[in-house]
Every structure is written in structure tokens, then in C-alpha cells.
């Protein structure tokens, strides 16, 4: 975390290990039932979203409750690129990032005039405005409640230039120079982008710019007293973070080409906050970890129902099963959000540093030969702040 402390691993190693872990996900997630292309894509996409959010929240401590707006704008821009230009995913991703960046610049320019809870409320207000507008007045652009979808009659100017104009049966699918972007190819496309994003985020964490952001987090006033104008740094961090969200949004559209306004609702912003905190805000791999865990458990838990539970507990006596199944059933299936909320509260109460902090404590515990060293943890916390 700090320059004085020797990092556990070399940066290059970190990236290589991360890349290997991500690309090998279909293999090591297979035994635990996580090997579906859809789910893997979600891991990668929400990983990007959370990593981007972490650049703002983890480094500067500014809690934005409006990041879903950038996700939504990225999705809309990508779908429009599919509709108007080409089914190739590269322009879609570029436009998604670009438009999210522009929106982030506007919102950031205004919101960053305030700090603390006022900043949170301002971002929340802007995101809710975008959401409400997408539902009502902007219906020509967003297609309101139905959501923006592809149609066979879309112009697709670039595609029609290069092909003979014959449209196959059904809707065209997104592609990368001929490779269809669904299933595993889609996952690998997202995974490669995720690794690039991770690398960029790592460079930001290590750069003077990242250090500046950490300085702003620990004491903005003192940074100002040294004659530094902190606003441009904050704005840059905000825009980068918004662009990550835009990228994630456009990838959502790449893997499933439709965009709905509900992606911009503030609960969606809440979700990325949950992911980042769960994994560990301000750490490199934490957000990815949190995003993966939440999406994994969402998938696993919500597929449980009473039948599955009755089978799972079939080793118990019948009378116990009758009691256990409804109780556990509250926490899985459609009630999985309850588990999420409880888990989240427990993390915030007992482990504000997230899971990464937990791992670090365990490692420290074993390194010191079973003796906890409160001073070192304290010193570390101070440095981390």
C-alpha cells in the first residue's frame, strides 16, 4: 500500500497472476458450478465497473452514488452504435467509453464542488435525473420502459457498405471481425479488456497521480495549503472512473444487445458500492473479488428453491427438515438480497477494509507465529488512510 512497505509481489507478477486467474476462470470455476459463459461475462464486466469505481472511491474517498448513470449511458451508446454504424463491437465500446466520459466530465465538474455527503447527494441527484429522463422525455433515444433494442430495419451504415446488403434471418449478432460475441468468445473479449483495465488501474495506483489522490483522501485541506489545486486531479479521477463504468455498460450491450433505463437506477449504483466495499475499497484486487463474489452468489443462491433445499437437507430427520427449509429459504432464491444485505452489514461493521483486509489479517497472524501484533495493524491502517 505504501512506498515504505515492500510490496508482497512485483507488479508485473501481479498482473500476470491476475491475467492467468481471469483467463483460466472457465477451468477453476467449473467444479464450483460457475462455468457459464453468461456468468463469466458478468464477472468480467462488473469487475471492470468495480475497479473503475474503486479508482474514485478507494483512492480519493469520494463516495459517488451515481455511477449507474455512466453504466447506462455506455449501454445506450453501444446499442446505438450497433443500430446506426456496425455490429462490430469495437466502435460500440469506444462510443460507450466516450459518452460516459463526457457525462462524467459534466457531472464531475459540478459535483466535485462539494465534498462528503453533499457530493454523494449531488451524484445521486444527477443519476436519478438521468434515470427519470431516460424513462420519460428521452424516450426517442432510450425507448423508455421497453428498452433500446436492435431491429432488422436498422441502417447499420458501415455494415451495409462492406456487405452485399443481404440480411440473414433474424437479428444480427454482435461480432469482432467475424467472431460472434456471445458465449465464450464474448467472455474472452471482456476478460482481455478487464486485464487491460486492471493494468491501467495498477499503474494509476502506483503513479504520482495516484499518490496525489491518496493525499487528497487523507487530508484535502493540507493538500490545498501546499498550494495545490486539487480539483483537476479529482475531476480526472472522476472521469476515468466514469469511463470504466461506460466501458462496463457497453460490454453489457456487447454480450446482450439491449439497454434499459433500470440500469441507471440508484440501486444499481448501490450495487457497485457493495461490490467495492465487500472486496476492499482502496485495494487493487478487492473490487474484482467483491464483484465476482456478489455475482457468483447471486447466480448460485437465486437458483435455490425449496425443492433443492429439501434435497440438500435430506440427511436430516424429516421434522428438522420441515423446520430448516423455510428458514433457510428466506435467505436464498428470491430472498437472496437479504443475505447480501446481512453480509454487507457484517463486513462494514467488523471488517471495514473488506475481504482483502481480512486476508491480510490472517496472513499477518500466521507470519507473527500466532501472535497478533496490534501496533503493526494500527500503523498499517494509518498508512492506508
State the residues that interact with other proteins by CB under 8 A. 61, 63, 110, 113-118, 120-122, 124-126, 128-129, 132-133, 135-138, 266-267, 270, 273-274, 277, 330, 334-335, 337-338, 340-342, 344-345, 348-349, 352
Is the CB of 100 or the CB of 281 nearer to other proteins?
281
Q: Is-contact 47 105, C-beta < 8 A?
A: no
Number of Cβ atoms within 10 Å of the Cβ of 58: 27
Q: Is-contact 66 311, C-beta < 8 A?
A: no
Is the CB of 66 or the CB of 101 nearer to other proteins?
66
**Phi (first) and psi of residue 226, to 5 degrees:** -75, 5
For residues 191 and 199, what is the distance between their CA atoms, to the nearest angstrom? 12
In the complex, minimum distance from the CB of residue 82 to other proteins, in angstroms, rounded to a whole number: 26
Is the CB of 188 or the CB of 266 nearer to other proteins?
266
In the complex, minimum distance from the CB of residue 83 to other proteins, in angstroms, rounded to a whole number: 23
In the complex, minimum distance from the CB of residue 50 to other proteins, in angstroms, rounded to a whole number: 15
Residues 6+ apart with CB under 8 A from 58: 276, 281, 282, 283, 286, 287
**Phi (first) and psi of residue 339, to 5 degrees:** -60, -45
In the complex, minimum distance from the CB of residue 87 to other proteins, in angstroms, rounded to a whole number: 32
Is the CB of 122 or the CB of 190 nearer to other proteins?
122
Is the CB of 64 or the CB of 250 nearer to other proteins?
64
In the complex, minimum distance from the CB of residue 101 to other proteins, in angstroms, rounded to a whole number: 20
The SS3 of residue 122 is: helix
Q: Is-contact 45 268, C-beta < 8 A?
A: no
DSSP code, position 330? T
Is the CB of 35 or the CB of 220 nearer to other proteins?
220
Of 125, 254, 134, nearest to 182 by C-alpha is: 254
For residues 147 and 263, what is the distance between their CA atoms, to the nearest angstrom? 10
C-alpha cell at position 2:
505504501
DSSP code, position 262? G
C-alpha cell at position 322:
420441515
Residues 6+ apart with CB under 8 A from 54: 201, 276, 281, 282, 283, 286, 287
Of 250, 88, 79, 75, nearest to 160 by C-alpha is: 88
Amino acid at each position: 500500500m505504501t512506498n515504505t512497505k515492500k510490496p508482497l509481489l512485483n507488479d508485473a507478477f501481479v498482473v500476470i497472476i491476475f491475467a492467468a486467474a481471469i483467463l483460466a476462470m472457465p477451468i477453476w470455476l467449473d467444479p464450483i458450478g460457475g462455468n457459464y459463459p453468461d456468468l463469466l461475462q458478468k464477472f468480467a464486466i462488473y469487475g471492470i465497473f468495480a475497479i473503475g469505481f474503486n479508482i474514485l472511491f478507494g483512492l480519493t474517498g469520494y463516495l459517488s452514488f451515481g455511477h449507474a448513470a455512466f453504466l447506462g449511458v455506455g449501454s445506450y451508446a453501444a446499442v446505438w452504435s450497433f443500430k446506426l454504424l456496425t455490429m462490430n463491437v469495437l466502435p460500440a465500446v469506444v462510443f460507450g467509453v466516450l459518452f460516459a466520459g463526457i457525462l462524467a466530465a459534466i457531472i464531475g465538474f459540478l459535483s466535485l464542488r462539494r465534498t462528503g455527503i453533499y457530493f454523494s447527494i449531488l451524484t445521486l441527484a444527477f443519476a436519478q435525473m438521468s434515470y427519470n429522463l431516460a424513462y420519460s422525455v428521452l424516450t426517442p433515444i432510450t425507448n423508455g420502459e421497453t428498452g433500446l433494442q436492435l431491429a432488422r430495419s436498422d441502417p447499420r451504415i458501415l455494415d451495409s457498405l462492406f456487405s452485399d446488403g443481404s440480411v440473414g434471418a433474424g437479428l444480427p449478432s454482435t461480432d469482432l471481425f467475424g467472431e460472434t460475441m456471445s458465449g465464450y468468445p464474448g467472455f474472452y473479449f471482456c476478460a482481455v479488456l478487464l486485464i487491460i483495465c486492471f493494468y491501467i488501474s495498477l499503474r494509476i495506483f502506483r503513479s504520482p497521480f495516484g499518490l496525489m489522490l491518496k493525499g487528497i483522501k487523507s487530508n484535502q485541506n493540507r493538500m490545498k495549503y501546499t498550494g495545490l489545486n486539487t480539483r483537476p486531479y479529482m475531476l480526472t479521477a472522476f472521469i476515468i472512473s466514469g469511463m470504466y463504468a461506460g466501458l462496463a455498460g457497453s460490454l453489457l450491450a456487447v454480450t446482450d444487445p439491449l439497454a434499459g433505463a433500470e440500469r441507471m437506477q440508484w440501486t444499481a449504483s448501490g450495487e457497485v458500492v457493495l461490490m467495492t466495499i465487500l472486496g476492499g475499497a482502496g485495494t487493487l484486487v478487492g473490487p474484482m473479488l467483491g464483484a465476482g463474489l456478489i455475482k457468483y452468489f447471486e447466480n448460485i443462491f437465486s437458483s435455490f428453491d425449496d425443492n433443492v433445499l429439501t434435497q440438500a437437507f435430506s440427511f436430516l430427520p424429516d421434522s428438522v427438515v420441515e423446520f430448516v427449509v423455510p428458514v433457510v429459504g428466506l435467505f436464498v432464491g428470491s430472498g437472496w438480497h437479504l443475505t447480501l444485505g446481512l453480509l454487507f452489514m457484517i463486513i462494514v461493521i467488523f471488517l471495514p477494509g473488506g475481504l482483502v483486509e481480512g486476508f491480510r489479517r490472517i496472513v499477518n497472524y500466521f507470519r507473527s507465529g500466532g501472535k497478533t501484533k496490534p501496533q503493526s495493524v494500527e500503523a498499517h491502517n494509518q498508512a492506508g488512510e
